[in-house]
Amino acid sequence: MFSTDFIYSLNPWLVAVGLNAVLLTLVYFAPKKLLTPAGVVHAWILGVIVWGSLGWQGYAVVGFYFLAGSLVTRIGMAEKEAAGIAEKREGARGPENVWGSALTAALCALSVLAVNLLHPDEVVERNLVSLLMLAYAASFATKLSDTCASEVGKAYGKRTFLITTLQPVPRGTEGAVSLEGTLAGVAGSLAIALVGWAVGVIDLTGIAFCVIAAFVGTNLESVIGATLQSEVEWLTNEMVNIMNTAIGAIAAILLAWAWSYAIQ
């Protein structure tokens, strides 16, 4: 017989399996395709990891990112398609998009799970979990910032400049930035940071850390796009997204460390 403690420990994972199966079945049969069939499977894996590791609070953050990112991708779709700069498959996410956007967050979630299972010193555990949760939120804030900046900039950017030279370039150019896109990116990161704060994933100062980290990550992603992406074969959009979200997560942790030392 299994112990009650073992059965209780499985409950979040059983809920994760069932809930994600139901929700992603609805997504699969929805008239507007948000995910490819393979994307549905990989999103289910991601959803199980997040719910099982972080509970509904972490799931709320990834859910908000998925919905907001999908909606933003469709902004000005007709104009972007006419210009040949729209996302492929009308924005439907495949496995590469799922993990390009969320691999960093999934690793943060699994790290929280590992810390909780290992039960280190209470103070150490609390501090580690807090930093990992901040990194989790910041990674999604960075990715949503990047998505908002890119999609709004491509649709409505009046003047776009290459981030490394500030020379005017056509909308949709790798490494291009615009005022409209930049403001949309800040708004996107703030929105997801507020969701993270509202559900208890981060504290109030974490909102500022996420927004600053997202700004840093999004602009460094533009630098990578302008300089390295066309020169390095393995630097696909998905790999750059992983780097982007990792930069945002690390930047948020460094900001939190710096802040903790500053107020001591």
Q: Walk along the chain (264 residues) in steps of 10 and give the mean pLDDT of each run.
A: 50 90 91 86 96 95 94 75 59 87 97 87 82 98 95 87 90 88 96 98 97 96 87 87 96 95 81
d(CA 176, CA 153): 9
Identify the pLDDT of residue 170: 87
With tokens 């939120």, the residue in question is: 137
What pLDDT, on a 0 to 100 scale, did the predictor assign at position 1? 45
Burial class (CB in 10 A: 0-12, 13-18, 19+), 148: buried
Specify the pLDDT at position 244: 95
* Identity of the amino acid at 225: G
Q: What is the pLDDT of residue 181?
A: 93
Going from N- to C-terminal start, the domains of the chain cover 4-262
Of 228, 151, 240, nearest to 188 by C-alpha is: 151
